[in-house]
Each structure stands twice: as structure tokens, then as C-alpha cells.
Structure 1
Amino acid sequence: MPVPAHTPAPDLYRRGLRLLLDKDIDSWVGLWAEDGVMEFPFAPEGRPRRLEGREAVAAYMRHYPDHIDLHDIPELRIHETTDPATVVVEMRAVGRLVRTGAPYDMTYVAVVTVEGGRFTSYRDYWNPLVLQSPGAEFAGEAR
């Protein structure tokens, strides 16, 4: 279902989370502007720090459900800013790592900008320390 161009940033973000929980990666990627940028400022060495364009985001997320079985977002706070197109999100996602069955429990802070009902900028400040836990070779790699 197409997203109206006037969709507020908090609503678009919530829709995106629902799609991730439903493992509908194609529809999640469809929420991105053609020239949208996703950044991971805390990514450790060897991990992507910047993805430019919807196609790069799609390639990064393509195999997400094969690695992380996301079950729930038990904590979610969306803070609106003085710019109605930008929100700051605090959240926690839980599930399991598919390959090992190990629990997945990640906290995030994201700064997200939306224009025309599409993500144009998404800075994802995920916790790289989770990568140090056993079985976490993909954790933080894609959300």
C-alpha cells in the first residue's frame, strides 16, 4: 500500500518498524527516497558507515531476515523535533540470531528525516558492543 506524501515522520517510522517485524524488507525499502542516505556513525571497522541511495539500502537489508529474526520492539520513544520532518527515536529490539539461535537484544538511537512520505536520512546509532557477544557476527549489521 503506497504511503501518502504527507505522512508525518513518526507515522512513517512506526510503519517501517511494522514492516521489519513482518519481515517485509521490500516494502520497508519502498519507504526510502531514491537518494536516501543511511549512516551508522558508531559502526566498527569493517562495517559500512554510509549507504547512499535506495539501492544501497536494499542491498544492505536484503538478507536481514536470514540473519536476525526480529520478534518485538518492547521499548519505543519517538521524539518530535522543531523540524517536523525530523524525529529522534530511542528503541530496543529483541529477537534471535537465526544462525545460532542466540538472543538478539539491541538498543538504538536514530535521527530520521522524512520528505514526501519517504526516508531521506537515517542516522542509526546502534550499540557496537553487542558485536562482542558470542554468535553476534551479524548483530548491528542491518536493522
Structure 2
Amino acid sequence: MNDAGLTPRQVWERSVWYGMQGDIDAQLALYAPDCVIEFPFVAEPVPNRFTGRDEIRDMIVRLRAATPAAENQPVQSESTVVVHETADPEVIIPEFTVAMANSGTGEVVKSSYVQVIRVRDGLITSIRDYFSPATVEDVRRALT
């Protein structure tokens, strides 16, 4: 898929939607073949940079395997999203909080993110994802 007519926000929203649906192929089709995803706050020895669709696919599959069972779904009513437009028409900065509910206990935990995303010709060329790895680990523990 190459939807050059879509805005960066629309491309990002589609990517998020496909990711939430578990459709990795559709999500990856929105990434440029040489897309780079970076996690600047992730410390060595954990990889913090993934280049190209194959590396990104492997990373997504590993993250899904490490995430609690599929029944732990985002709670839409408690999730928030603000997308900032920038002076660069290719770049957006989404800020979002995702609330997840443990299907067994009903406990809701939240994790917040800020991303810097570049979209060129309808494809995501880079993502810098700023989040606290400690917060993600807290969410993982609460949902298992």
C-alpha cells in the first residue's frame, strides 16, 4: 500500500489501527522498506533501533509474544490521543496514553508515549518512540 494522498496523521492512524487489529502485514505495508524505528530511552543491551520491514516485523512479533494474552485489550474510553502538527509537513508528533484492562482482575493500567513520525509519499520513513521502559514493564506485570 502506498497512499501518497494521505496526510502523515492519516497514515499513522491507519498504522495504529492495523496494529490494534493484529494485522502486522497491513501495518508494515505502511512503512517504507528502509523505515527506521528507534526507542531512545531503551538501554543496552536491549536493541533500540530497527531498520527495514524485516527487522521491524521481528520486533513486533517479539513484543506481541512478550505482551500479556490477547484478551488484554486497550480500553478506548480511557485512552487519549493528541497529534501535534509541525512546521515540517512530513512530521507529526503524537502523544498518547493507552489504558489496558486485565481481563482476569479488571485492573486498568496506563502507559504514555510520545512519538516523532516522518511520513513521505504515504509511507512511514521513521519513528522515534519515547516512553519509559520501566512503565511498560509495570504494565506488563500488572496484566499478567
Distance 1:83 1:58, change over 3 A: same
Displacement after TM superposition at 1:105 (Å):
2.3
What SS class does the counterpart of residue 16 from structure 2 fall into?
helix
Deviates more, 1:25-34 or 1:108-117: 25-34
1:41–1:124 contact (8 Å) kept in structure 2? yes
For structure 2, the 5+ residue unaligned runs are none
TM-score by length of 2: 0.80
For 1:70 and 1:44, how far apart are their aligned partners in 2? 27
> Which residue of 131, 138, 143 maps to 1:133?
138
Whether 1:71 and 2:74 are equivalent positions in the alignment is: yes
For 2:29 and 2:15, how far apart are their aligned partners in 1? 10
Query: Which structure's residues are more often strand, by fraction?
Result: 1
% identical equivalent positions: 27
**Alignment RMSD (CA, Å):** 2.8
Aligned length: 136
2:41–2:132 contact (8 Å) kept in structure 1? yes
What SS class does the counterpart of residue 74 from structure 2 fall into?
strand
> Which residue of 125, 128, 134 maps to 1:123?
128
2:73–2:100 contact (8 Å) kept in structure 1? yes
Query: Which structure's residues are more often helix, by fraction?
Result: 2
Partner of 2:97: 92
Whether 1:105 and 2:104 are equivalent positions in the alignment is: no
Whether 1:15 and 2:20 are equivalent positions in the alignment is: no
1:20–1:70 contact (8 Å) kept in structure 2? no
Structure whose alpha-carbon radius of gyration is higher? 2
Displacement after TM superposition at 1:7 (Å):
1.3
